[in-house]
A and B are shown apart, each in its own frame.
Chain A
Amino acid sequence: MQSEPKVDPKIIEEILKFSKNIIEAPKLVSAPDEISLEVTPHDIVQQMDKTRLLHYKPITEKQHKTPLLISYALINRFHILDIQPEKSWVRNLLQQGFDIYMLDWGTPTSMDKYLDFDDYVNGYLDTYVEYIKNESSTEKISLQGYCTGATIATTYASLHPESVKNYIATAPVIDGWRDTTVISNLAKHMDVDKMVEIIGNMPPEFMYYAFSVLKPFEQGIEKYVNFFKNIENKKFVDSFLRVEKWLGDTPPIPGELFKQWIKDIYQDNLLIQNKMHIEGQLVNLKNIDMPIFTQVAVGDHLVSPECSMPLHYAVGSEDKTLRMYPTGHVGMIASSLSQKKVLPELGQWLAERS
């Protein structure tokens, strides 16, 4: 007779506990809709169309003279830079005495399908930079760009170097041909003209698809299993839900802007070759002559290091620093590593030049 396979009672125990956690979950945690992602106190100091300029309230008595404007990415929203107090990029910089402004690109609608690079760079970004210069009585400000926000900030720094005192490029999307990510593969085969002509803006659903194919099993299964396993761990659950809510909130990208971004960065790779034009103006990276600090994450699966690093070598600046961190795209800006290593290094670099 065949002996029956032995099952470890702990497996049964684990399964029962897991099932109990799923049933208990709604009683223990908030629904994502009930969580506010705007953590650090701020004022909305300017608005233009659907974009907003946030000014964070200072938390130190002494402040550095040069204000810092953060140009967040076009994908998802700026909340990841202030996702929770102990992991907040913004709060950390405020604690280091910096005067922080944040550009919220807002949520474009069908009406905004003709907004292009010129509107974003020479329109919104330039208007807000001028506002900050006036408010702080400075001739130049410090500028930080993150991900696709760094593509916009990079073109701005090239076209308006007279307004930028220091430039920080965090995981910038620069050299599309060197990018080794799934996003770049999809972008290279996209008929972007047809997409913009027929549906207008780049729909958020398409972005969700692009994200779902990045580490699909780790992200699609394992992280939710871990969530239910740790349902009684308040700190873990709060952090998980905040990041999930942020991930699920990505606005559409204006059609014309998206078209030029895909073509000029991923398909024709014009930016790094100094061949990209914005409203007839040539974007030459050699014009970026201010101090520049480039931050790259070695494990970035959204913007590969090979795509970001060429910026460091292409600019005209003599004062330039490149830092690589053993983390991922989001880990670089919202993790304990970013608090312990990335932000102190950035703060020190910026303080010496502010």
Chain B
Amino acid sequence: MQSESDKDITDYYKHLSLFWTDIVHLMSSKPQALTSIGPMRAFAANSKKVSTELIEINEDLMEFNKHLTEYYKQLADTWVDAQKKVNLKAPEIPQDVEQMEAVKRIWIDIFDNDFTELFDSGKFGENYGKLVSKELELTKHWNNIVNVILQSVNLPSKEEIDEVYKEIHSLKKRVAKLELELKKKGMKRNAK
């Protein structure tokens, strides 16, 4: 979690950034309106969105790093514990091929058991779920930034493309149902 003072600083910079992007936008939008179909006009109109996304990326990045650190800590702790178990079970340096094979087998078995136990645990599942969730939020911010750029050159955003995909999917389903009904009617007609 972010401490109060960290949050104050973040909020301050968020406000500062929004203030200046708003002011610059208001000051510059009138002359830019003359070229209202150009890419810079569209980009300038949405540039505030980019600033907001960048600030929020920083907030999410902190949370992401926290879960990523915990992820590697869990792996490292498990590694250390497993290595201790291997050292106890095979304290001697292997002297021949057979011993080397035996030590390798012990090492793999202990490491596989300990790591499987970790991956099966609630604490791993919970942290990993949160890590992936934060990574997805970072992806979402990145998508939003790219959407601003796409819109500045009159290209559809991800949401708009998704809408088209959804419509195609729904149309395909309707066509399939209609085809099935027609087929059934045809079969009834043939039976008569």
Chain A contact patch, size range: 35 or more
Q: Which of B46-54, B133-141, B145-153 binds A? A: B133-141
- Contacting residues, chain B, for A222 (C-beta < 8 A): 104, 108
Partner of A217, one of B96, B115, B162, B176: B115
A8 touching B116 in the complex, CB below 8 Å, given contacts A114-B169, A186-B128: no
Bound: A222/B122 CA distance, A: 28
Residues in B with CB closer than 8 Å to A186 are 119, 125, 128-129
Bound-state CA distance A182–B104 (Å) is 24
Name the segment of A92-100, A154-162, A187-195, A282-290 touching the other chain: A187-195
A14-B97 in contact (CB<8A): yes
- Give the Cβ gap from B141 to chain A, nearest Cβ, in Å: 10
Asked if A119 and B173 make an inter-chain contact with CB atoms under 8 angstroms apart, the answer reads: yes
Minimum Cβ distance to chain A for residue B132 (Å): 7
Chain B nearest CB: distance from A239 CB in Å? 21
Is A235 part of the contact surface with B, judged by Cβ < 8 Å? Answer: no
- How far apart sit A48 and B126, CA to CA, in the bound complex (Å)? 39
A222 to B103, CA, bound (A): 13
> Does any Cβ of A come within 8 Å of B76's Cβ?
no
Report if B120 contacts A (CB, 8 A).
yes
Q: Is the CB of A195 within 8 A of B112?
A: no
Which A residue sits closest to B117, measured CB to CB? A182
- Complex CA gap A111/B168 in Å reads 9
Tell yes or no: A115 within 8 A of B by CB: yes
- A190→B129 contact, CB < 8 A: yes
With A11-B96, A113-B162 as contacts: A199 and B136 at CB distance below 8 Å = yes
Query: How many pairs of residues, A versus B, come closer than 8 Å at their CB atoms?
Result: 87
A213 CB within 8 Å of chain B: yes
How many chain B residues sit at the interface, stated as a range, is 35 or more
Chain A at the B interface: mostly helix, strand, loop or mixed? helix
B111 contacts partner chain A, Cβ-Cβ < 8 Å: yes
Q: How far is the CB of B140 from the nearest CB of chain A, in Å?
A: 5
The CB with the most chain B CB atoms within 10 A, among A6, A186, A188, is that of A186
Q: In the complex, which of the residues B93, B119, B126, B165 contacts A213, with contact meaning CB atoms closer than 8 Å?
A: B119
Determine whether the beta carbon of A189 is less than 8 Å from that of B125.
Answer: yes
Cross-chain contact of B143 among A11, A198, A217, A218 (Cβ < 8 A): A198
Known: A189-B129, A194-B137, A198-B143. 10 other contacts (CB 8 A): A6-B95, A8-B95, A8-B96, A10-B96, A10-B97, A186-B129, A189-B126, A198-B139, A198-B140, A217-B108
Q: List 18 A-B contacts (CB under 8 A).
A: A7-B95, A8-B96, A10-B96, A111-B168, A114-B170, A115-B169, A180-B120, A185-B122, A186-B125, A186-B128, A189-B125, A191-B133, A195-B132, A198-B136, A198-B139, A215-B116, A217-B111, A222-B104
Contacts from A to B (Cβ < 8 Å): 5-8, 10-11, 14, 110-111, 113-115, 118-119, 123, 180-182, 185-186, 188-191, 194-195, 198-200, 213-218, 221-222
